[in-house]
A and B are shown apart, each in its own frame.
Chain A
Amino acid sequence: QVQLQESGPGLVRPSETLSLTCSVSGGSVNIGSYYWSWIRQPPGKGLEWIGYVYFSGSTNYNPSLESRVTISLDTSKNQFSLRLTSVTAADTAVYYCAREGPIGLDSWGQGTRVNVSS
């Protein structure tokens, strides 16, 4: 069974870049049929889809974040990453990585909390 684990700094300064990595075990990111996704959840609020990367490297982003987001794949490490530039307090959230397959977001990481503060 595939498992996902997020990692990265828990504190990011305003205007800087948030960088997170999702390590995948029990399955390869380098196969078709799956989209490797990022979703976030601000404190006390609902879920927001950020975007995904396909095994080919193609990406799709939430238009509301597209100008600031990059999601990339590292097949040699079986990982995928999220970069979000020019962060503000509104980007404070729990960030989840997840696998999207034919049946939806069927595997999730435990989430990592990122606080944007000076």
Chain B
Amino acid sequence: QSVLTQPPSVSGAPGQKVTISCTGSGSNIGTGYDVFWYQQLPGSAPRLLIYANKNRPSGVPDRFSGFRSGASASLAITALQAEDEAVYYCQSYDNSLSAWLFGGGTELTVL
């Protein structure tokens, strides 16, 4: 059980929107630590998708957006495409564990 909780799976049809949640606590997201999101395509290394809660690195399509509120964060993907099928991980720092943490990952299926 990860300290940062993500749903194991989400799905959506091409063109639709999906949202992936990341729920933390007062020792990580809730205390103001930034949230990062990574995309891991099958058989590949993770790739940075969102940094500092809501910012996209260059090259990441604006279909991907991030949001943080309180002790939770979310990643939204609009206009779903087949190439978005991947596992998505959130990351934040936890000051009680003194460690960077990853969520358990959410597998996105494009129907």
A residues sitting closer than 8 Å to B (CB atoms) are 46-49, 62-64, 96, 103-106, 108-111
Closest residue of chain B to A111 (Cβ to Cβ) is B45
Q: Which residues of B contact A105 (CB under 8 A)?
A: 36, 38, 46, 48, 91
B89 contacts A106, C-beta separation under 8 Å: no
Q: Which residues of B contact A47 (CB under 8 A)?
A: 38, 46, 89, 91, 102, 105
Chain B residues numbered 17-70 whose CB sits less than 8 Å from any CB in chain A = 36, 38, 44-48, 51-52, 55, 57
- Cα–Cα distance between A111 and B46 once the two chains are bound (Å): 10
Q: Which 6 A-B pairs have the closest CB atoms?
A: A103-B51, A49-B100, A108-B45, A104-B36, A47-B102, A104-B51
User: From DSSP, what is the main secondary structure of chain A's interface residues?
Assistant: loop
> Are A103 and B47 CB-contacts (below 8 A) given A46-B2, A46-B104, A47-B105?
no
B34 CB to closest chain A CB, in angstroms? 8
A63 contacts B97, C-beta separation under 8 Å: yes
* Chain B residues touching A, range: 20 to 34
B102 contacts A46, C-beta separation under 8 Å: yes
B9 CB to closest chain A CB, in angstroms? 13
B60 CB to closest chain A CB, in angstroms? 11
Given A47-B46, A63-B98, A106-B48, output 8 extra A-B contacts at Cβ < 8 Å.
A49-B100, A63-B97, A96-B45, A103-B48, A105-B36, A105-B91, A106-B51, A108-B45
Closest residue of chain A to B34 (Cβ to Cβ) is A104
> Are A106 and B99 CB-contacts (below 8 A) given A46-B89, A46-B104, A47-B89?
no
B101 contacts A49, C-beta separation under 8 Å: yes
- Cα–Cα distance between A46 and B57 once the two chains are bound (Å): 23
B102 contacts A103, C-beta separation under 8 Å: no
Q: Which residues of B contact A108 (CB under 8 A)?
A: 45-47
Interface string of B72-111 (1 = CB under 8 A from A): 0000000000000000010100000111111111000000
- Cα–Cα distance between A17 and B73 once the two chains are bound (Å): 38
